[in-house]
């Protein structure tokens, strides 16, 4: 295990101990140990090998033994026994927004609640509101969280779904019987959440492929099995469907099963207007008797058929008088008309990104040090990395006050001057927008930074008018450079706060403030549905990973998906500019 993975286990132990009502000092010991590991600038393996763990403040003998066991084996018997000793329902309650270990412990102790269903009943009966420390508003939030949890259970975030799907796809492609294989469905379209996985394979020998698919170690249940189809369910509830088609049908099936439904309906209508019938089996003359499948079979047998040249989706679109439409744009939102006119944009790509701005270190709530984050950014080939740790109002995230921020500015200057990295570090902060729209830090220190990300982290229950005015006031601050995660949503966890996005966009354009497309897989905020019109109005986008560790820098890919769905080009995105271009932009701002 890496140091951050070990720290995650230690934090989990702290939460579980709190659920059990253990001594608060014991709970804090595990959390302190996790924090100590996160701020460690050496490889944990080296420290263990040299028997120096106990020299680190916050790590005693007992904790050192557990860390060593986790590093060596990836498991900890104490942790597994602790999990087994707690009712699973109590752990599930941690998934409900606003419910931490202390509140869950109180609910269990005072009302005997040990499952989500029991909690829902207690809320419906008003028993939770009557408890000290809860009240009507808390009860309403808990009920909303339970409803959202049930509704969201059928969906999975793109990032997690892709992590499951990609190894399966590569395994399919490696099978000798497979001519080609692709993802389909909402995963291929880059939708922010995915209902299930769709794999499409072109092959002539089917049985070995189906057998391989249903016997993967990830499979928990085989829900359907046929000659050319199979459905399975993986751990975590994600379902996957496999379809195998003859190579000649692959392009048609790939287009059909990629969707979306609206896009496919419009494409079929376009085909009919040209005397053709489009389906998953082919593109054939619309005249004649029989099903589309029968027509496609007849067409394949005919050597004189005019549509036999279609071997790819590019060929399929061309046969209907269209330029190729990237999967991300296939939502029935004008992409067909643009493809007909040759007006589809050259969409931004991951390779266009030259650096990122919104990233955290161990100075606030990050899990890697400044140097570790810069080293990882250099590994990505980026020219610059912006550091934007939290400001003091985010006390739960160990936010920086003016003095600590100035010390960080000096640390970054020294690191840049050292020549240790080719990636240059830019000084920034994620400054809280206070409930009245003021910024959390003095203007004097904000002016010492290269840029300022302004974000809402509190008072989510304000009305739409209050929240909109609050955010616009922050945007109008002379030091504001970019607005972070504009709606505050957490995908499959909580809805965004009420805000008039159109008015916020107008204010950002008027004040030359960029708006973030927060690429964290839980956020993807601002939503892709706003970006096409926003970019047309002159809004500058910045794709930020909101990374809290080195692995989090990878999240830029999810942001690229969302940007492409929003019709964004490299010209629309600030951080496709090189270091000189970014410095020029920030200087003029």
- 3-state helix/strand/coil string of 8-48: HHHHHHHHHHHHHCCCHHHHHHHHHHHHHHHCCCCCHHHHH
pLDDT of residue 401: 97
Residue 143: what are its φ and ψ, rounded to 5°?
-60, -45
**Is the preceding omega at residue 457 within 30 degrees of 0, hence cis?**
no
Angle, CA 525 vertex, CA 520 and CA 527 arms, to 5°: 130
State which residues of the chain have pLDDT below 70: 150-153, 287-308
Residue 167 structure tokens: 């190894």
Residue 115 structure tokens: 């499952």
pLDDT of residue 3: 83
Question: 443 near 474, Cβ under 8 Å?
Answer: no
Q: What is the SS3 assignment for 429? A: coil
Question: Which neighbouring-strand residues pair with 454?
Answer: 431, 483
pLDDT of residue 91: 85
pLDDT of residue 298: 52
Of 421, 376, 415, the residue nearest 2 (C-alpha): 376
CA distances from 97 to 157, 269, 433, 451, 464 (A): 17, 44, 21, 31, 21
Name the pTM for this structure.
0.80
**How many angstroms separate the CA atoms of 558 and 564, rounded?**
10
**How many angstroms separate the CA atoms of 267 and 321, rounded?**
11
Of 139, 129, 155, the residue nearest 493 (C-alpha): 155
Percent helix, percent strand, percent coil in the chain, to nearest 5: 50, 15, 35
Ordered structural domains, the chain, with CATH: 3-152 (1.10.150.110), 156-243 (3.30.460.10), 250-341 (3.30.210.10), 350-588 (3.20.20.140)
Residue 389 structure tokens: 């740790």
Q: What is the SS3 assignment for 178? A: strand
Of 439, 454, 465, the residue nearest 518 (C-alpha): 454
Max CA-CA distance within the chain? 83
Alpha carbons within 13 angstroms on the beta-carbon side of residue 170 total 5
Residue 173 structure tokens: 């492609």
Question: 322 near 313, Cβ under 8 Å?
Answer: no
**How many angstroms separate the CA atoms of 369 and 246, rounded?**
52
What confidence tens digit (pLDDT) does each residue in 470-503 have? 999 999 999 999 999 999 999 988 889 999 999 9
pLDDT of residue 291: 56
């Amino acid at each position: 295990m890496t140091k951050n993975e070990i720290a995650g286990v230690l934090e989990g132990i702290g939460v579980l101990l709190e659920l059990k009502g253990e001594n608060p000092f014991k709970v804090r010991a595990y959390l302190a140990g996790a924090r100590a590991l996160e701020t460690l600038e050496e490889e944990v393996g080296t420290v263990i090998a040299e028997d120096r763990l106990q020299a680190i403040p916050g790590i005693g003998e007992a904790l050192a033994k557990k860390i060593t066991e986790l590093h060596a084996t990836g498991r900890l018997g104490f942790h597994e026994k602790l999990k087994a000793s707690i009712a699973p329902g109590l752990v599930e309650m941690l998934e409900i927004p606003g419910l931490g270990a202390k509140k869950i412990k109180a609910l269990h102790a005072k009302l005997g609640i040990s499952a989500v269903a029991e909690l829902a009943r207690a809320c419906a009966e008003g028993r939770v509101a009557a408890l000290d420390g809860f009240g009507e508003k808390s009860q309403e939030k808990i009920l909303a969280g339970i409803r959202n949890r049930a509704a969201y259970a059928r969906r999975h975030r793109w990032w997690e779904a892709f992590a499951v799907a990609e190894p399966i796809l590569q395994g399919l492609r490696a099978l000798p019987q497979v001519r080609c294989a692709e993802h389909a469905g909402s995963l291929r379209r880059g939708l922010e959440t995915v209902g299930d996985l769709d794999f499409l394979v072109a092959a002539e020998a089917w049985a070995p492929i189906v057998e391989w698919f249903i016997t993967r170690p990830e499979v928990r249940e085989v829900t359907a099995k046929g000659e050319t189809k199979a459905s399975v369910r993986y751990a975590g509830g994600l379902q996957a469907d496999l379809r195998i088609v003859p190579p000649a049908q692959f392009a048609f099936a790939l287009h059909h099963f990629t969707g979306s439904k609206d896009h496919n309906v419009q494409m079929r209508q376009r085909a009919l207007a040209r005397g053709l019938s489009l389906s998953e089996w082919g593109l054939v003359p619309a005249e004649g008797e029989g099903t589309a499948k029968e027509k496609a079979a007849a067409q394949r047998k005919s050597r004189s058929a005019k549509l036999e040249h279609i071997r790819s989706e590019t060929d399929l679109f061309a046969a209907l008088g269209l330029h190729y439409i990237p999967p991300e744009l296939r939502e029935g939102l004008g992409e067909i008309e643009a493809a007909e006119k040759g007006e589809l944009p050259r969409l931004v790509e991951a390779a266009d990104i030259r650096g990122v701005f919104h990233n955290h270190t161990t100075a606030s709530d990050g899990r890697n040090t400044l140097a570790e984050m810069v080293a990882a950014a250099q590994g990505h080939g980026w020219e610059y990395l912006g550091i934007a740790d939290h400001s003091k109002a985010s006390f739960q995230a160990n936010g920086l006050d003016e003095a600590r921020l100035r010390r960080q500015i000096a640390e970054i200057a020294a690191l840049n001057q050292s020549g240790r990295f080719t990636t240059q570090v830019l000084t920034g902060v994620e400054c809280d927008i206070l409930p009245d729209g003021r910024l959390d830090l003095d203007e004097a220190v904000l002016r010492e930074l290269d840029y300022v990300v302004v974000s809402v982290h509190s008072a989510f229950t304000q009305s739409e008018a209050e929240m909109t005015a609050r955010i616009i006031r922050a945007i109008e601050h002379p030091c504001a450079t970019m607005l972070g995660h504009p709606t505050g949503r957490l995908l499959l966890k909580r809805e965004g706060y009420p805000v008039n996005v159109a008015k916020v966009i107008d204010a950002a354009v008027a004040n030359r403030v960029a708006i973030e497309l927060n690429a964290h897989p839980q956020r993807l905020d601002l939503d892709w549905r706003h970006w096409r019109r926003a970019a047309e109005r002159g809004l500058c986008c910045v794709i930020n990973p909101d990374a809290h560790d080195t692995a989090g820098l990878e999240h830029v890919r999810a942001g690229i998906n969302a940007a492409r769905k929003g019709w964004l080009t490299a010209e629309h995105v600030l951080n496709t500019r090189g270091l000189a271009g970014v410095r020029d932009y920030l200087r003029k701002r």
